[in-house]
Amino acid sequence: MSDSLTIRRPDDWHLHLRDGAMMQAVLPETARHFARAIIMPNLMPPVVTGADAAVYRDRILAALPADMSFQPLMTLYLTENTDPDDLAAAHASGLITAVKLYPAGATTNSASGVANFDNVRAALERMAEIGLPLCVHGEVTAPDIDIFDREAVFIDRVLDPIRQATPGLRVVMEHITTSDAVAYAREAGDDLSATITTHHLVINRNHILVGGIRPHYYCLPVAKRESHRLALLAAATSGDPRFFLGTDSAPHPDTAKIAPCGCAGCFTAPNTMSILAEVFENADALDKLEGFTSLHGPRFYRLPVNTDTITLTKGAPANYPKTIAVNDEQITVFDPEFPLHWRVSG
């Protein structure tokens, strides 16, 4: 097997950049390897209108180092007060690429999310009409549902009914974590796809809980059993165009991660491509890496693939920084707990 692999420059179809000093610190870690990224809108306050998205996009571009090329693909945060005309105008202008659905209380900064799905019917119908994708955080938040079952229950109780009631709605099941979600995506038509994160290809729930609580592996949706990880791995490495990369790279200061009520999220932007190359090689699927990172996402979003390339080379293990500094705080970089012999070299 070759020790060099050249692929189209990848895209990240699920990314948290935050804002302010945090954004300035983490944006270069993504722009170094990725051409584009779907930018999550769950700021405080959230990005809910076209005007909000335009201002946030300008802040991102202002923070981008002058020697880097990167296109933020903006999204709106769906609320029960979302104006269908506003989202349609933002889409028509090219400002936004998708709309994000957070069930209220599902994850970080999701308090403004949807509780009554009847109240977003008009927005969803307009999105189906104009072909604007809905990116879904697929978990129910009912207190009687076990946290490890929330994704599967969401598919049955929320996602499938939404799709049945809204023909033509294009949906991305984001950061799927279960064999249930893999099976649902495989059985769906061309109007549904699913993203898989780097860290969910690596960790299962033992990484969070065995040997003590390990907060830097805590994410939402939470990692599941090993059987589910293997289902995700099989989907990612299959070459099926319905599955593509969305890192959900989610930086938090270490003080917030290790707090008594720690934040959910894994910061994978710096070393994602190295991890994925290692994972795909171990699965004897390096030839499928370009599809997963660079081809399947543009296909679903109806965007051109990138014309430039990156080259990964294999050699001695790469040494990534353990943390990234943000003012007087540190952000811990995700540790896959295995050597990374592949690195982006050009």
Cα gap 332→251, rounded to integer Å: 8
Retrieve residue 309's tokens. Answer: 């390339």
| Residue of 19, 248, 287, 328 marked catalytic | 248
Given the structure tokens 């935050």, which residue do they identify? 18
Q: Long-range contacts of range 17-25, CB-CB < 8 Å, 24 or more positions apart?
A: 17/60, 17/72, 18/43, 18/251, 19/43, 19/56, 19/59, 21/326, 21/327, 22/251, 22/326, 22/331, 23/59, 23/60, 23/63, 24/63, 25/251, 25/324, 25/325, 25/326, 25/331
248 is catalytic: yes
Query: In Å, how far are 173, 188, 227, 266, 276 from 223, measured between CA atoms?
Result: 16, 24, 11, 11, 17
Q: Are strands 71-77 and 36-39 parallel, antiparallel or unpaired?
A: parallel
Catalytic center residues? 248
